[in-house]
Structure 1
Amino acid sequence: MASTPGLRGRRVRSGAGPSSAVDFDQDDDHNSLYSNHSRHRSSIEQFLDSEQASIAMVGVLTALAFALRFYKINNPDEVVFDEVHFGKFASHYIQREYYFDVHPPLAKLLFGLAGWFVGFDGQFQFENIGDSYTENHVPYVGMRALPAILGSLTVPIVYAIMKESGYSTIVAAFSACIVLFDNAHVAQSRLILLDATLIFFMSLTIYSYIRFRKLRYLEFSSEWWTWLIATGVFMACTWASKVNGILTVVAIGIAVLVDLWDILDIRKGHSMEHFWRHFSARATGLILIPLIVYLTTFYIHFAVLNTSGPGDTFMSPAFQETLKGNELLLNSQEIRYFDTVTIRHKNTKVFLHSHWERYPLKYDDGRISSQGQQVTGYGHADTNNEWQIIPTKALPETGRGRVVRYNDVVQLLHVNTQSYLLTHDVASPLMATNQEFTTWPKEDVVSRYNDTLFQLHLIDAYEGEAWKSKSGHFRLVHVPTKVSMWTYVNQLPEWAFKQQEINGNKNAQEKTATWYVDEILSDETGLDPRGRTGEVPAKQPKKMNFFKKFAELQLLMLQHNAGLTASHPYASSPINWPFLLTGISFWTQGEDQKQIYLIGNLVGWWACVVALSIYVGIIGADLLARRRGITPIPEPVRNRLWNNTGFFIVIWAVHYFPFFLMSRQLFIHHYLPSHLASALVAGAVLSFVMSETINYPISIRGPLMDRPRHPQEADLGINGPIVVGLFTLMMFAMFMYIAPLTYGTPGLTGEQVNSKRLLSSWTLHFAAKASGES
């Protein structure tokens, strides 16, 4: 412990005059009030804080990180958990086939590059968990090596963050060991998953920003610019690796706003010109450059994926026609009046369908229908899906005048029942707010003519553009009532054969009310329409502005990410994550009773929770004491707690609390970025508890430093290394105890599984029953 007693009990009068005040920078470098107190650091601590010991510590931590993450990385030799997605995406990159995913492309591009580098041909599609890599000759070890390398390098980066923040070697090693011996971080780093890449770039972002802040007395120097730009680049890479990387951008943004607010303070003596210069520099390094990097990853993504693939149908027709071999590009045809077609809903893929059966006169809720012919959405090919396009204007006998165009008003004749599509002011079966769709007999159409009129609103089209099959997405808007034909996933009762409801949505611009002509079956003569255009030359992919493609994909990513609301047996609530109340079953093998269960190191995670709680308690007590004119914490130590540890707290909170607002599926691995931040907080709190002083100054001396600094060093005494050593042994013991769940080997008996189930909420496989082994 520190040799100077009583610093935290020091009192000042609340009414002390200006002469008694001491001017402190609100940061980590200060003139010491206590420099006249000699420090007697132990020889062990002096050795540990030497440059040679620090380099050796980095080497040991890095070697251990690589050893733990590469140990039996070839096991299991089967597809594990979300490797079915991210391995498949790597295949698509190698095959250059377009796919859609809710996450930005950088981490997946790196997997594709790793696969290409180790000779993967992309033929294996990672269809199911448990599919064999060895039987299909997939070089999976090389692909898993990428996240293993990045996960291993994260450990020394955590150490470097703590050292650059002014903490001793032993404290920095403490934070690094929390990540080093964490089972969840190790498990995620050994598989073809995105989190290791995300956390690697996140840690580099934190490190770079701290290096940048330490150069504030050398502002606008080449080194200052280097670390500012590095922060921006790594921040963009974090964002481009996984969608929740945007939270790192928010965390750095908060820190930058606090920094700029401080520069704006008139007591600092800066002119507005000086402030705007700082603002412009940060806008360049932390907005413009990251945006360029982020956009570049998508530019590469589009350039590589230039061929038709499974992601085509998510995109607009204009986007799809930029892909080689796309069906819209090859097979779309102009639609002419009196063509018989099938019409399909873009989102749910059901066909517009009708049959002789009618709506019941009275629904279960007491509402009355028109008892008209049913119009439904049907998911399979059927002759009752066929509709003929009928004109509502005079047509020429031949020529281009018979082509259906944007904004044309048409009728749709159901071929099998010879009745016209109609909607009217009657409530639909399942939604009382929407209109019923039905049909009206052809022989009596005059009496309801206006109710059978619909206008074609082609999506992203120009006035007079021809309507085409496949590519001509449209909304069908009823002329009299302005409702748009719409469907959704809810099914009608048995009286409609469980088919989807079709109704009239009063929002005529509803984006999900989008349809397309799937196929032109025949023209008015009953002939195959493919022969009417003669020889058609091979079509080349069309061009589309990059920013339009980027904007379209970003919007879809956000929509589909928010739409991941289906239940999952291993989904969990954010409130459970810090306490490790539940994990995720990644993989099982019944024959040998092997399993991979994603769960963290209980010792490390619970220590982080305790550290977070202690920090909140310290800050609360400090605020209360200062309201009473008491300074329980020396000013340099207090500033370190508020500024540096506060920065770590912001990172933890920003990466954690937003998940409480999300309605999508959530899993414990979403907490890993916050867990890394909590490891940094844990080290800072340990330093506060073990020592009454800190290492300072930590900022690089420059011309703006207006007074000499009196260096001081933290004094953890002999107890610091002992406490950290014991805690590290406890974490290592816990890591080894649940390692069979992390590595998926060896197999465990039922009783052994029960012993590994440290919390009753852990849902492990192959557990023994109460009466004996299962």
Structure 2
Amino acid sequence: MEDRDRFSEDTQRRSCSKPPVRNRRACRETEKDRGKTKPGLPETRKTGLSHTHGFNGMCVKQPCKTSETPSQCSDHMNQPLPFWLLLCVAVFSLSTRFYNITEPPHVCWDETHFGKMGSYYINRTFFFDVHPPLGKMLIGLAGYLTGYDGTFPFVKPGDKYEDHNYWGMRGVNNNISYTLQPFSLSWWLWLILTGVNLSGSLGVKFVGLFVIILVGISTAWDLWKLLGDLNLSLVDFAKHLFARIFGLIILPLFLYTTIFAVHFAVLNRSGPGDGFFSSAFQSRLIGNNLHNATMPEYLAYGSTITVKNLRIAGGYLHSHWHLYPEGVGAHQQQVRTSAPYNHAETPELVRHGDIIRLEHRETTRNLHSHLHEAPLTKKHLQVTGYGINGTGDLNDLWQVEVCGGKKGDPVKVLRSKVRFLHRSTGCVLFSSGKTLPKWGWEQVEVTCSPYLKETPNSQWNIEDHINPNLPNISLHVLKPSFLEILLESHIVMIRGNSGLKPKDNEVNSKPWHWPINYQGLRFSGVNETEYRVYLLGNPVIWWLNLFSLGLFVVMVSVCSLALQRGAKLEGERKGRRLTLHKGGGMLFLAWLLHYLPFYTMGRILYYHHYFPAVLFSSMLTVYFFLLFFSINLCFFFSSICSFYLFHPLSYGMRGPLAHDPSSSMAGLRWLDSWEF
């Protein structure tokens, strides 16, 4: 009797229950008879997105019958979908995605960027983007396989494709989304595929990190429950743990790194992305000035050098004959490039802690700072060119600091990160990133910062180095390793992402707009004579999702309060509560993880950033309806009808705009903020 009671409690805490057995051996035999025993793992369960969390591939949740116990209800709710229904979904998905794929026959919105990046892959030209490369690599591969030659310039939206084969690059995105249909295979294959898809999600965009967090939470919860299962030995638990470490950490990390290895191998020629990276990174690109170049390895007095700032897209320290205008600090020479130069016959190496003077070779003025405020960054000091033929004053002296080095360490070209500390004022040479007005030729402001914290803006490296009295080496020996360029590329991507700020008068979508479908996005065309495509969510589905999210919070809150007050849930109600809290709770958490972080982001946001979150809210809506209302034909047909009514927005339209009463879309402009 005690065994039977213990088993009853155990099955009620699982959403996919097993038949009552007396011991673990009998349980294994039952599983084997059913063809479910997995090699090396007892009592196998789906992990990552698991059965217990409601992500059961080909299972559909049906409402519980009143006569069923919670465990019977849970079993009843995992019924396989009819094959014909899955087939219909697949066919409908394929046909709607590929219908009219070649329209419009011109560049649309982000095709300007992603089409151009696809061309870069075909031409093997290096470029910079703020996201990982997998998505762009697939676009380039699709274009290559369908006959696109990589010559279309992708200058601006509206440019005609003419005779270029562009349909393959559009089609690959539709094909990938179409193949995301549910299916059920063995435990190990589910685990491996979860790991593969984790690497793919992060390999396309950094927002893939949110789904990794989701799977991490799900896996941790599943392992915690396994640890509490007294029928599972610690050896078997260790097998489960290491299987998940391999499938959900090691494998995705390996595949993610492989994506970048292919990315770097294909893009091995100099291109528009060179300047975003360090000089050492650029030395590996064919066609770059530093590729296979030769120069002295260590900096010495008397050398002619080029100094480059290490912030993203950092420029070179530069100067010319023009003076600062009246009223902008001291009326002295503007600064943005310099080089030390003297004529010592026996070169002495420049080392960490040395005091040096940097002289601009063309104007023979020294790099100089003083107690005048900088032109734009008022809390910093002005940097100028001062003196003549190397003669100046004590404000021309700078101390060399090798980042991470110690006194006496030499300065290595390309590889050493160097800071220049002003001896008189104690500030550090700094690139503010701010653009000077017309009088500064709209170049970047150089200042002397009193804030001495090490940042890329205050770090510099020696790029070009000429000294006839020193032996030259090939820069090939200074080329960074794969791990170094992998780390640098991620640092540059993260900094670039955070630097995507909205420009003046540029429309910036707000996160609160997205769940209510407040505003769409013009994908192509703006007036009645142009072929217009407008990105807008299906309003019926969007608003029903919002209703389901709110109803879920209310129902869970009410249920929790009732239980706290001592209410008893039996039979059908208990089964529904368990299913709703586990499966629905995981979907609601997934929606939160993919939505709330955007409120903290300072970068420019777009409507499509909500699309991963809306997938989870849609799943929660269907889960909710199937759990409480069975299959609702009204919901099904309303979704189909709304798709038919609004399909011109996706497939393109011409004629009067929707605000014109004569427009065929006039009655569908349900919100004034919809601009189609």
Q: TM-score by structure 2 length?
A: 0.79
Give the aligned residue type for 1:410: I
Q: Which residue of 1 aligns with 2:653?
A: 745
Q: Which residue of 1 aligns with 2:420?
A: 476
2:670 to 750, 758, 763: 758
Give the aligned residue type for 1:642: H
Write the distance in 2 (CA, Å) between the matches of 1:459 and 1:94.
39
SS in 1 for 2:291: helix
Write the distance in 2 (CA, Å) between the matches of 1:277 and 1:118.
45
| 1:668 to 1:356, Cα distance in 2 relative to 1, 3 A | closer
The answer to whether the 8 A contact 1:322-1:541 is kept is no
Q: Which residue of 1 aligns with 2:537?
A: 600
SS in 1 for 2:382: strand
The answer to whether the 8 A contact 2:335-2:367 is kept is no
Write the distance in 2 (CA, Å) between the matches of 1:36 and 1:422.
85
The answer to whether the 8 A contact 1:80-1:129 is kept is yes
Q: Which residue of 1 aligns with 2:119?
A: 91
Write the distance in 2 (CA, Å) between the matches of 1:117 and 1:337.
55
For residue 623 of structure 1, report the CA deviation from its aligned partner.
0.7
Q: Which residue of 1 aligns with 2:221?
A: 258
The answer to whether the 8 A contact 1:329-1:541 is kept is no
For residue 132 of structure 1, report the CA deviation from its aligned partner.
1.5
SS in 2 for 1:375: coil
Q: Which residue of 2 aligns with 1:381?
A: none
The answer to whether the 8 A contact 1:482-1:508 is kept is no
For residue 36 of structure 1, report the CA deviation from its aligned partner.
9.6
Give the aligned residue type for 1:239: L
Write the distance in 1 (CA, Å) between the matches of 2:541 and 2:382.
59
For residue 444 of structure 1, report the CA deviation from its aligned partner.
10
| 1:259 to 1:467, Cα distance in 2 relative to 1, 3 A | closer
For residue 414 of structure 1, report the CA deviation from its aligned partner.
4.4
Give the aligned residue type for 1:120: Y
Q: Which residue of 1 aligns with 2:356?
A: 410
Q: Can you list the C-alpha shifts for 1:159-205, whole angstroms capped at 9, x where unaligned?
A: x5xxx7xxxxxxxxxxxxxxxxxxxxxxxxxxxxxxxxxxxxxxxxx
Residue 452, structure 1, aligned to residue 396, structure 2: yes
Q: Which residue of 1 aligns with 2:59?
A: none
Residue 293, structure 1, aligned to residue 205, structure 2: no
Residue 562, structure 1, aligned to residue 521, structure 2: no
Residue 513, structure 1, aligned to residue 475, structure 2: no
The answer to whether the 8 A contact 2:356-2:397 is kept is yes
For residue 396 of structure 1, report the CA deviation from its aligned partner.
4.5
Write the distance in 2 (CA, Å) between the matches of 1:488 and 1:74.
46
Give the aligned residue type for 2:243: A
SS in 2 for 1:373: coil
| 1:90 to 1:359, Cα distance in 2 relative to 1, 3 A | closer
Give the aligned residue type for 1:106: L
For residue 291 of structure 1, report the CA deviation from its aligned partner.
0.7
Alignment of 1:173-212 (within 5 A): none
The answer to whether the 8 A contact 2:133-2:260 is kept is yes
| 1:231 to 1:594, Cα distance in 2 relative to 1, 3 A | same
Alignment of 1:499-578 (within 5 A): 500-505=444-449, 506-507=451-452, 509-515=454-460, 543-567=479-503, 569-578=506-515
Q: Which residue of 1 aligns with 2:626?
A: 687
| 1:86 to 1:514, Cα distance in 2 relative to 1, 3 A | same
| 1:417 to 1:97, Cα distance in 2 relative to 1, 3 A | closer
Write the distance in 1 (CA, Å) between the matches of 2:434 and 2:214.
41
Write the distance in 2 (CA, Å) between the matches of 1:616 and 1:99.
45
Larger RCO: Structure 1 or Structure 2 (Cα < 8 Å, ≥ 6 residues apart)? 1
Q: Which residue of 2 aligns with 1:140?
A: 166
For residue 544 of structure 1, report the CA deviation from its aligned partner.
3.2
Structure 1 alignment gaps of length 5 or more: 1-17, 40-45, 165-210, 212-222, 364-368, 378-384, 524-528, 691-715, 765-774
Q: Which residue of 1 aligns with 2:39?
A: none
Write the distance in 2 (CA, Å) between the matches of 1:234 and 1:339.
52
Residue 579, structure 1, aligned to residue 516, structure 2: yes
Q: Which residue of 2 aligns with 1:710?
A: none
Equivalent residue pairs, number: 607
2:614 to 657, 672, 675: 675
Write the distance in 1 (CA, Å) between the matches of 2:134 and 2:292.
31
Residue 61, structure 1, aligned to residue 92, structure 2: no
Write the distance in 1 (CA, Å) between the matches of 2:89 and 2:274.
45
Write the distance in 1 (CA, Å) between the matches of 2:390 and 2:168.
70
Give the aligned residue type for 2:581: W
Write the distance in 2 (CA, Å) between the matches of 1:423 and 1:249.
49
Give the aligned residue type for 1:511: P
For residue 499 of structure 1, report the CA deviation from its aligned partner.
6.2
| 1:684 to 1:493, Cα distance in 2 relative to 1, 3 A | closer
For residue 542 of structure 1, report the CA deviation from its aligned partner.
6.7
| 1:634 to 1:760, Cα distance in 2 relative to 1, 3 A | same
Give the aligned residue type for 2:500: L
Give the aligned residue type for 1:389: P
For residue 357 of structure 1, report the CA deviation from its aligned partner.
4.1
Write the distance in 1 (CA, Å) between the matches of 2:528 and 2:66.
70
For residue 251 of structure 1, report the CA deviation from its aligned partner.
0.7
Write the distance in 2 (CA, Å) between the matches of 1:76 and 1:541.
50
The answer to whether the 8 A contact 1:484-1:509 is kept is no
For residue 760 of structure 1, report the CA deviation from its aligned partner.
0.9
The answer to whether the 8 A contact 1:372-1:439 is kept is no
SS in 1 for 2:585: helix
Residue 464, structure 1, aligned to residue 490, structure 2: no
Q: Which residue of 1 aligns with 2:29?
A: none
Write the distance in 1 (CA, Å) between the matches of 2:304 and 2:410.
21
For residue 331 of structure 1, report the CA deviation from its aligned partner.
5.7
2:345 to 393, 397, 401: 397
Q: Can you list the C-alpha shifts for 1:548-574, whole angstroms capped at 9, x where unaligned?
A: 111111111111112212247443111
1:102 to 130, 133, 140: 130
The answer to whether the 8 A contact 2:432-2:447 is kept is no
1:234 to 174, 182, 197: 197
The answer to whether the 8 A contact 1:87-1:111 is kept is yes
2:318 to 352, 355, 364: 352
The root-mean-square deviation of aligned C-alpha atoms, in Å, is 3.8
Q: TM-score by structure 1 length?
A: 0.70
Identity, in percent, stands at 29
Write the distance in 1 (CA, Å) between the matches of 2:227 and 2:462.
60
| 1:126 to 1:473, Cα distance in 2 relative to 1, 3 A | farther
2:581 to 634, 642, 648: 642
SS in 2 for 1:389: coil
Write the distance in 2 (CA, Å) between the matches of 1:103 and 1:494.
33
Structure 2 alignment gaps of length 5 or more: 21-63, 70-75
1:373 to 332, 344, 349: 332
